[in-house]
Structure 1
């Protein structure tokens, strides 16, 4: 049987992030980081397996929160439990409010990672379509970047955080790795924050903390 080729994911040397200014937690200084990272000539595609253990590179991740605001002002966010079918085994059984994932060589139209303006967007849209079905119109905004060097998973990833504001709270999971999907009020997210993965904790506190 022919072996399945390992996924090739978009990465940037961690020292490029250091040159821009490494931070812990969330940064809303999008202009400082995102465009320079996506235009960096040192972007490359590397096999996912080794990259999960190599903090000398940062894997760029699209991280989308799906939010709904009711007529009475109540804000709810789509939340789920990471099941056994997901790609990042270190996060299994953790709660999360982020959907999305890696940018892959399959998203590229050129041989070099930095040459394609639409690369990141295609990766974001592909990951969303693989993970969830969104049954509502929405608006979106880019809110910041997440870095967490305090966990093994965080040390090798750098997240780009988006919020999709849905007109109706209509979202369903598209894969088994996203279990128990439901919209929860932000007060409940904050009360149960210890059950969430570190990036979700960072995002919840930054966006909804009182």
Structure 2
């Protein structure tokens, strides 16, 4: 069976101004995005630049104030992102996440993705940060990120074959020489880490 993913038409974003790939929008704009989302085949969504796949993108911060950084291995499914570093955990919203309330559809997907990828000891809080929209690459042109920070006591990666992990504090980011994927660069700028 083909995977279906949650998308919105680009025109829904026409009135939103992004600066360097990032913006903060009010709750009513998020609701508009979620209320206008629908499911299509991922195979179509990956090539259709008239829509954006909605992706929860969660930065994980532990009690030592360090941020989880993962490097995508060659066993990870998205070949276009192999070997790049990321500070975001997340993924596609699928029909399994569907709820009558579209906002709950989004949060069901966010929770599922976190639980698929991480063992979380304690999630203290989840804080909305803003939206990521980056038209600079083939991958990013068909996705819209909804950026959050999750404050946790501790987490571990479940998919160790897909991701290598390390934890960095803000000072260590300044000296880090790995190549971050585009969304991570945008997220780190929005969080004023780099």
TM-score computed with the length of structure 2 as normaliser: 0.90
Deviations 1:76-125 (A, max 9, x none): 10011012233322111100010011110121146xxxx54411111111
Are residues 93 and 137 of structure 1, via their aligned partners in 2, closer, same or farther at CA, if it must alter by over 3 Å? same
Q: 1:68 aligns with which of 62, 67, 73?
A: 62
Moved over 6 A (4+): none
Distance 2:27 2:161 in 1: 33
Provide the residue aligned with 2:74 in structure 1. 84
Distance 2:84 2:95 in 1: 28
CA contact (8 A) 1:143 1:161 kept: yes
Deviation at 1:177, TM superposition (A): 5.5
Distance 1:197 1:30 in 2: 26
List runs of 5+ in structure 2 lacking aligned partners. Answer: none
Is 1:14 paired with 2:10?
yes
Provide the residue aligned with 1:39 in structure 2. 35
TM-score computed with the length of structure 1 as normaliser: 0.84
List runs of 5+ in structure 1 lacking aligned partners. Answer: none
CA contact (8 A) 2:17 2:23 kept: no
Distance 2:26 2:71 in 1: 29
Aligned-residue CA RMSD in angstroms? 2.0
Q: 2:158 aligns with which of 174, 180, 184?
A: 174
Q: Which has the larger radius of gyration?
A: 1
Deviation at 1:22, TM superposition (A): 4.8
Deviation at 1:134, TM superposition (A): 1.0
CA contact (8 A) 1:80 1:178 kept: no
